[in-house]
Amino acid sequence: MSEHIDITDANFETEVLESQIPVLLDFWASWCGPCKMIGPFIEQLASEYSGRVKVGKVNVDEAGEISSSHGIVSIPTLVVYKNGQIVNQAVGAFPKQSIEALFKDFLD
């Protein structure tokens, strides 16, 4: 069972900006090979950190407003939010430990 949340233009403010816990956003697309490579890591982290980190997936083909406002030009792009602010981000495919390192310092 998936633990991630599909982030859309409609729920971005509620799920990300107003979140009480850190949020890891994965900007991806179904046609993106590197996105498919890190997908299982994203799902594992969503499960392992359930309740401590919110994991959201943003399909760049469907959430154009969010993608545009974040200046997404390459995917996968990972963005970490805390208290409604971007606190970390990375572009590219990374091993699970590197993805985890993006948000670990921001856990309460």
The catalytic site residues sit at 32, 35
- 24: DSSP letter: E
The residue among 84, 88, 83, 86 whose CA lies nearest residue 104 is 88
The span from the CA of 89 to the CA of 40, in Å, is 19
Tokens standing for residue 108: 């309460």
Cα torsion through 86, 35, 11, 105, rounded to 10: -30
- 21: DSSP letter: S
The residue among 13, 40, 39, 27 whose CA lies nearest residue 70 is 27
